[in-house]
Amino acid sequence: MKIHEYQAKDLFAEAGIPVPPGEVATTPVEAFEIAERINRPVMVKSQVHVGGRGKAGGVKYAENPEAAKVLAANILGMDIKGLKVQKVLVTAAEDIISESYVGIVLDRASKKPVFMVSPAGGVDIEEVAAKTPEKIFKLEIDPVRGLQPYQARNLAYKLYRDINQVRQCASILMKLYEVFWKVDASLVEINPLITNPSSQVVAIDAKVNIDDNALYRQKDVEALRDLDAENPAEIAARDGDLSYVPLDGHIGCMVNGAGLAMATMDLVKRYGGDPANFLDIGGSSNPQKVVTALNIITSDTKVRSILINIFGGITRCDDVAKGIVTALEELKPTIPIVVRLTGTNADQAKKILAKYKLPHENTLDDVVKKAIEMARVEI
């Protein structure tokens, strides 16, 4: 789960990491009032779940409250990579002497959290990694023993020479590591971590991603979820306990199992079609899930045919068939559907579906080809 910069900064401030004062605004007037309270030049920063906000014109400098109001009016409602800006963070502008990058990610290979720091901050860290990998320093942390102060100091020395700044930075790194564990983050990042003319080290940006698997015990963090910033279909899918990712194509897919769902999408592409989505109904055989899934797919106006691919193991094909029947009765979809049900109880499933005369294919490749063919007819 992603949270906004202003929410991440609140978490940092709570942990004692220095961040500039700021508040979030949803209207230009609010932005004006916040800038007045801050009483010095501010940055007006769009709050959307996407990188490259600055380049897209979603981050601007305002000399005074009046300017902040005008900029907020421009930025609010702006489209950044397909996402509409609904909120802006109005925060004190800092004079920047140097910019660094610090972050913690879960490293899958070592099964440990890894610190990454770089004196080349303020730019896309992936770019730094690709062009000048020697400017990135990494340190694996023992997840049981935790980050030791000397390790934090060693990392800080990679960024600063001034001992006062090294100390400030080491303290920030210790606190950042605490945040990583406290909120069950999969990523925490400060880019850039700056020094200002009074030699203070300050986090002027913040990024925190939360491990979805840990949300059951992170109720406070889950409450930060911004439903306005998400696709309504994705929200419906999550509420229905489905994995769903919308795509640009026209063939709606409903599959059991994440790997098979991906493979089905890949085959759609391979045989000349374009998948409209990734959708995994999971391992259970709950017919209601099938109804929710078909509702989401048929709500996508791009979809011209629907492909249902079920390999029954634990999932029973007859349960899926019952769900399909309920969905057909409730939703009365006009989009053509092709099914492939194989494995556990596939014969019963075929009997249940018989009177609906849905085309049925026996193999993965054939069901994909059929779905593409049906989508073409629909044009």
What's the CA gap between 26 and 1, in Å, rounded?
22
The stretch among 15-23, 27-35, 268-276, 294-302 that binds other proteins (CB under 8 A) is 268-276
- Asked if 283 touches other proteins (CB under 8 A), the answer is yes
Of 6, 101, 160, 244, the catalytic one is: 101
Q: Indicate which single residue of 211, 222, 230, 300 sits in contact with other proteins (rule: CB under 8 A).
A: 211
- Interactions with other proteins, residue window 77-116 (CB under 8 A): 106, 108-109, 111-113
Q: Indicate which single residue of 129, 136, 236, 358 sits in contact with other proteins (rule: CB under 8 A).
A: 129
What's the CA gap between 367 and 308, in Å, rounded?
8
- Interactions with other proteins, residue window 10-69 (CB under 8 A): none
Backbone φ and ψ of 13, nearest 5°:
-60, -40
- Asked if 321 touches other proteins (CB under 8 A), the answer is no
- Interactions with other proteins, residue window 158-187 (CB under 8 A): 181, 184, 186
- Asked if 222 touches other proteins (CB under 8 A), the answer is no
**Sheet bearing 243-246, strands edge to edge:** 243-246, 277-280, 251-255, 305-312, 337-343
Of 30, 99, 189, 361, the catalytic one is: 189
- Asked if 217 touches other proteins (CB under 8 A), the answer is yes
Q: How far is CA 68 from the centre of its chain?
A: 29
- Asked if 334 touches other proteins (CB under 8 A), the answer is no
Concerning whether 150 is annotated as a catalytic residue, the answer is no
Q: How many helices (H) and strands (E) does the chain have?
A: 13, 17
Closest alpha carbon to 368 in 285, 280, 254:
254
Q: What's the CA angle centered on 133, arms 130 and 139, to 5 degrees?
A: 125
Token pair recorded at residue 50? 């996407």
Token pair recorded at residue 152? 């934090």
- Asked if 262 touches other proteins (CB under 8 A), the answer is yes
Measured between alpha carbons, how far is residue 157 from residues 99, 164, 198 in Å? 14, 11, 19
Name the residue nearer to other proteins (CB basis): 158 or 238.
238
The footprint of other proteins (CB under 8 A) covers 106, 108-109, 111-113, 125-126, 129-130, 142-144, 181, 184, 186, 211-214, 216-217, 243, 245, 247, 255-263, 265-270, 275, 278, 280, 283, 311-315, 342-344, 363-365
Q: Annotated active-site positions, please?
A: 101, 189
